[in-house]
Amino acid sequence: MTQTGKIALEEHVAVQQTLDDSRPFVPEHLWPELRHRLLDVHGTRLAQMDACGIELMLLSLNSPAVQAVPDRAAARELAERANDELATQVARNPARFQGLAALPMQDPEAACRELERAVRELGFRGVLVNGFSQVDEPDNCVYLDDLRYRPFWALVEALDVPFYLHPRNPIASWAQIYHGAEWLLGPTWAFGQETAVHALRLMGSGLFDAHPRLKIVLGHMGEGIPFSLWRIDHHNAWMEAAPRYPALHPMAHYVRQNIWLTVSGNFSTPALVNALSVVGADRILFSTDWPFENVDHAATWFDALDLDASTRYRIARGNAAALFRLGT
């Protein structure tokens, strides 16, 4: 039976300036279909939602988009334009669509200004950032545990909005491990590896000790972290050595206090069982990863799961409604 009222929150759109960023992810003969999916909001997308019991989508920009624009002024302009365009789309049907802001992390002060504008003026429900940002030079990759971002994180905490850490591929000069095995790039492997390392950097940096009310969302059932969490915290335990990171607690503490997971693009029952056992039903959220994954694939899988009514409701909509303060 179709679970109605589902909320999906890793659901992407593109603006003309970011459209070609997604072109490498499909064979050329499928590009027209993906292009249509990325630019469409109120046609095919809404029909898919209606057919699959999805009440609301939180929309966000495709990847890597703003994060791959090294010039700070250009990144600022792109983020502002993309957010304005997304706000216009949301305003056409706010009962079915809400927005997550794109931010120019190349310029932390500008990112703070745009975050405040997006939340306070545009009414966006949170933020989605595509991993590291290339700053000033294409090969200068800056991760969000860098101390330059601490005022930004303080603002995210003060505004009390979720921050979605979304994948991107490593840049070519940092991706030697994939040379000759390029099929491992993207969602097959590199997306998850890149995002998991980034998330662990945030946890290990002490960020959540300084800002304990931060709410970070990871897609694809946690990018492999739940499966590996025990080993992350217990490797070589016989040595009884203190951790070599600034954070005050084991990584499991932060995963269970500051991290939420979506099922986007990982419609695997064993993966869900693992995630439930590690973080519990209150921290898992339904999502599809449209247009890169099919809405019906996500919904058909989820609707057939053997879950108790409370767990089903929380994952389908309750957790997202509370986390993003949707008031539905």
The string of pLDDT tens digits covering residues 4-51 is 999 999 999 999 999 999 999 999 999 999 999 999 999 999 999 999
Phi first, then psi, for residue 192 (nearest 5°) are -65, -45
* Residue 55 three-state SS: strand
Phi first, then psi, for residue 293 (nearest 5°) are -120, 165
Distance CA 31, CA 288 (A): 19
- Amino acid of residue 24: P
pLDDT of residue 236: 79
CATH of the domain at 36: 3.20.20.140
Distance CA 133, CA 151 (A): 17
pLDDT of residue 237: 76
Q: Is residue 328 part of a domain?
A: no
Q: Is residue 209 part of a domain?
A: yes
Q: Is residue 140 part of a domain?
A: yes
pLDDT tens digits for range 44-88: 999 999 999 999 999 999 999 999 999 999 999 999 999 999 999
Q: Is residue 315 part of a domain?
A: yes
Distance CA 62, CA 65 (A): 6
pLDDT of residue 119: 98
**CA distances for 252 relative to 91, 207, 248, angstroms:** 39, 15, 12
pLDDT of residue 243: 86
pLDDT tens digits for range 162-189: 999 999 999 999 999 999 999 999 999 9
* Residue 19 three-state SS: helix
Strands 133-134 and 216-218: unpaired
- Number of domains present in the structure of the chain: 1
Q: Is residue 42 part of a domain?
A: yes
Nearest CA to 288 among 10, 49, 2, 5?
10
Q: How confident is the model at residue 328 (pLDDT cuts 50, 70, 90)?
A: low
How many residues in total does the chain contain? Answer: 328
Please give the residue range of the domain that contains residue 29.
Answer: 6-323
Q: Is residue 224 part of a domain?
A: yes
Q: Is residue 292 part of a domain?
A: yes
Whether 283 shows a pLDDT value over 70: the answer reads yes
Distance CA 152, CA 200 (A): 18
pLDDT averaged over the chain? Answer: 97
Catalytic residues: 289
Q: Is residue 1 part of a domain?
A: no
CB 147 within 8 A of CB 121: no
- Record the tokens describing residue 162, joined without a space: 């979720």
Distance CA 171, CA 269 (A): 32
Owner of token pair 């693992």 = 274
In what helix (H) or strand (E) does residue 206 lie, and over which residues does it extend?
none
